[in-house]
Amino acid sequence: MNLKGWLLLGSFLSSPCWAQLQSLPAYQPSVFNGDWLINPVSQRAVVSQTNQGKELVLSNGLVIRRFRVSPNLATVDYRNLNTNEQFIRSVKPEAVVVLNGKKYRVGGLDGQKEHAYLKEEWLDGFKANPADFQYKNFRVSALKPSLHGQSRTWTMNPNPPTGQELQLMFAASQPELQGVEVVVHYALYDRIPTLCKWVTIENKSDKPLHINQVVNEILATPEEESAVVGKPDQMKKPQRIYIENNFAFNNAMRYDLSDQATHWKTDSLYTSQVNYNFETPCLLEVYPTQGIGIDLAPNQTYTSIRSYELLLDSYDRERNGLARRQFYRTVAPWTTQNPIFMHLVSTDPAVVRNVIDQCAETGYEMVILSFGSGLNMEDVSDANIRKFKELADYAHSKKILLGGYSLFSSRRIDDETDVIDPKTGLPNKGAFFGHAPCLASAWGIAYLNKLKKFITETGFDLLEHDGPYPGDVCASTKHPGHKGLDDSQWVQMEMQKGLYRFLNEKGVYINAPDWYFLDGTHKIAVGYREVNFSLSREQQKILNRQNIYDGTWEKTPSMGWGFVPLTKYQGGGPEAVLEPLSEHLGDYEQLMMQYYGAGVQACYRGPRLYDTEETKQTVKKVINWYKQYRSILNSDIIHLRRADGRDWDGIMHVNPALKEKGLVMLYNPLKTTITRTIKLPLYYTGLRQTASIRVGEGKPRAYALNRNNEAEMTVELAPESYQWLVVEGK
């Protein structure tokens, strides 16, 4: 270290920040030795110090992130403690902000010459850049929930996440930045290898601050593969760090296709990489592609998007899916709510009351006034609110929840309201789904206020919200909610997420066909093609099982909804629908069992749940069975065999914390009885050596597990039928 470096270090060691660091506990290496997906993790998240107070440490027995704090703060170590895999090869700033059109780094250290790897002995020789935001202090607190959700429905995990939050404060020396404080937040969760990172900017000056862009995470990670030639979009991105942020949309029903803020880039400083043109994708940056574009008034605070980082320990698809599902259950526990609902196609009070009565009789828990029912939540007249409040009150008297559907996207309002295409300057030329109003228009602002008023005053328990989907940009300079193109996407996203957070915190359940889970929504479509519900019931049964199989690799069962057309939907004839229900009881029962057996709620869309006493008893039998096994049916899915119409198919739920460690659903699509020997992979049940398995409510039988923790058993499946098995311990 040179003289200037020693002087800076001496100044830091005499600062209040160093004294505060010394008050933290010394870091004690602690690695969880079990499998965190099966065994309870005893370690908790903790903030500590190490290296004589030169470094801050975030750790929880599963992951560690370590920061050198002088001469500026930077991440120097980021590892999965179970595998010891390192995710830092090069030091980067903690964030980058673009303010008033000028780019500034937040934290970071200069001086690294080799960027393929980072050695501990190099750190003391690194220096700070005076043009960067400089680290000043830190705060530690217990993790606060990202939203205070309420639940009126059955919930698998009612507990908010716990952990520790570390706030790192930065300030700049430039005159134009006086009064601007940047805080980098880290939240480390208990029991899962996950942290969350976001940035806040507080304007303590007396002038507005224009925020063009905020990059809230920058990681120079080791590359996933080496290739002498190959473009970034052709090469694999790092697979063992999963990134999710709360800036995702486009109606894909999958996060990775909806993500609008995770960017894997090349790193020109990494000159020893194998790729001849330095085009290896090995630099992660998280920021909204369109930018922010807002003005931050004096005494206001801006909050960036949140990026969640889950460190994985495998390339196995099922295991990584299990990890992501556990991430949602922990970080967004409201997604484990899973009420039993049906979709009603009428708002006639007599019909609504009859269906409420049917729900109470059969064990259903919620009625959703569906699209096409005639519900208009934008009508906030006294008469309309009174009508639906009376229906909600009646539902509540029967212990049934009531909610309904509202359309936003795919509709045209007028030239003044609709999004303006930045290329043509015309309305309805650039919207993703043909037509879309701007949420920040006068109409859009009024629309949100009307929804809030309607739901609050009627006592509705659910909103099924159809859009806005793609975050349509808008070049209008006349809409009161945004100034122009630059801020249009950010403002509309904040408004939409604000609605969902508002409703979630009031206990309102939200079905929304886009990826807003981290800001309060509960359910998205499991993934299906709507016109397929005009096909025959025989086709629908197989297609539905395929949809369930494919749609539960990354989502939990409670996060997806399916569809069952009791009456005509998207075309089709009598062969496609279930009405009259009493004439298609076999298909009705199997469709229910397919969905409830997967823990997935379907939209049973029609005018009633039953038409005869026999139909009623069939519905009650399925719902009683579902409620008996509700916890295991809402637990993780292991994918056994995808439906192909040629042989058996099936899934298995697993949960080592329950009495029922597993529940298997098997299906025979053939017109003949089949006998099959099946290997059940029981590793994630937590069972070892032996398992007790019964067919339905039959007598259990002990099975020895092989070295792969599999139980081999022979099953007989009747033609075009289903069967379920229960797995327990000895």
Q: What is the mean pLDDT of residues 652-672?
A: 98
Q: What pLDDT is recorded for position 409?
A: 87
Q: What is the mean pLDDT of residues 366-375?
A: 96
Q: Which residues pair with 437 in a beta bridge?
A: 418
What share of the chain in percent tops pLDDT 90?
A: 92
Q: What pLDDT is recorded for position 12?
A: 55
State pLDDT tens for residues 470-486. Answer: 789 999 999 999 999 99
CA distance linking residue 629 with residue 725, whole number of Å: 11
Centre a 10 Å sphere on the Cβ of residue 46 and count the other Cβ atoms it contains.
Answer: 20
Q: What is the mean pLDDT of residues 420-426?
A: 94
Which pair of tokens denotes residue 8?
Answer: 């800076």
The answer to whether the CB of 252 falls within 8 A of the CB of 552 is no
Q: What is the mean pLDDT of residues 487-501?
A: 97
Q: What pLDDT is recorded for position 433?
A: 84
State pLDDT tens for residues 115-159. Answer: 999 999 999 999 999 999 999 999 999 999 999 999 999 999 999
Residue 242 above 90 pLDDT? yes
Amino acid at 576: A
Residue 552 above 70 pLDDT? yes
State pLDDT tens for residues 618-646. Answer: 999 999 999 999 999 999 999 999 999 99
CA distance linking residue 361 with residue 205, whole number of Å: 62
User: For residue 19, what pLDDT band results from cuts at 50, 70 and 90?
Assistant: confident
Residues 143, 145, 151, 153: is their CA dihedral positive or negative?
negative
User: For residue 257, what pLDDT band results from cuts at 50, 70 and 90?
Assistant: very high
CA distances from 431 to 434, 437, 470 (A): 5, 9, 8
CA distance linking residue 567 with residue 303, whole number of Å: 46
Residue 400 above 90 pLDDT? yes
Q: What pLDDT is recorded for position 59?
A: 98
Residue 243 above 60 pLDDT? yes
Average pLDDT, the chain: 95
Q: What pLDDT is recorded for position 23?
A: 85
Could you tell me which of 216, 213, 212 has the C-alpha nearest to residue 199? Answer: 216
User: For residue 32, what pLDDT band results from cuts at 50, 70 and 90?
Assistant: very high
The answer to whether the CB of 321 falls within 8 A of the CB of 554 is yes
pTM of the model: 0.95
Gyration radius (Cα) of the chain, Å? 28
Q: What pLDDT is recorded for position 69?
A: 97
Could you tell me which of 318, 358, 322, 354 has the C-alpha nearest to residue 341? Answer: 358
Beta strands 636-641; 217-220: pairing state: unpaired
CA distance linking residue 233 with residue 166, whole number of Å: 35
Q: What pLDDT is recorded for position 21?
A: 86
Q: What pLDDT is recorded for position 194?
A: 98
Sheet holding 283-286, edge to edge: 217-220, 283-286, 262-265
User: For residue 467, what pLDDT band results from cuts at 50, 70 and 90?
Assistant: confident
The answer to whether the CB of 108 falls within 8 A of the CB of 218 is no
CA distance linking residue 459 with residue 595, whole number of Å: 29
User: For residue 410, what pLDDT band results from cuts at 50, 70 and 90?
Assistant: confident
Q: What is the mean pLDDT of residues 591-595?
A: 98
Q: What is the mean pLDDT of residues 429-435?
A: 85
CA torsion 369→375→377→383, rounded to 10°? -120
Which pair of tokens denotes residue 19?
Answer: 């004294």
CA atoms within 13 A on the CB side of 638: 20
Q: What is the mean pLDDT of residues 654-672?
A: 98
Buried-exposed string 527-559: b where 16+ CB fall within 10 A, e elsewhere? bbeeebbbbebeebbbbbbbbbbebbbbbbbbb
Q: What pLDDT is recorded for position 16?
A: 57
CA distance linking residue 563 with residue 520, whole number of Å: 23
State pLDDT tens for residues 150-177. Answer: 999 999 999 999 999 999 999 999 999 9
Q: What is the mean pLDDT of residues 550-565?
A: 97
CA distance linking residue 388 with residue 395, whole number of Å: 10
Residue 250 above 90 pLDDT? no
What share of the chain in percent tops pLDDT 70?
A: 98
Which uninterrupted H or E stretch holds 573?
A: none
Residue 199 above 90 pLDDT? yes
Beta strands 209-215; 294-296: pairing state: antiparallel
Q: What pLDDT is recorded for position 11?
A: 56
CA torsion 668→671→675→677, rounded to 10°? -40
User: For residue 10, what pLDDT band results from cuts at 50, 70 and 90?
Assistant: low
User: For residue 3, what pLDDT band results from cuts at 50, 70 and 90?
Assistant: low
Which residues, 6 or more positions from 110, have their beta carbon under 8 angstroms from its beta carbon? 126, 127, 128, 129
Q: What pLDDT is recorded for position 15?
A: 60
Specify the length of the chain in residues: 730
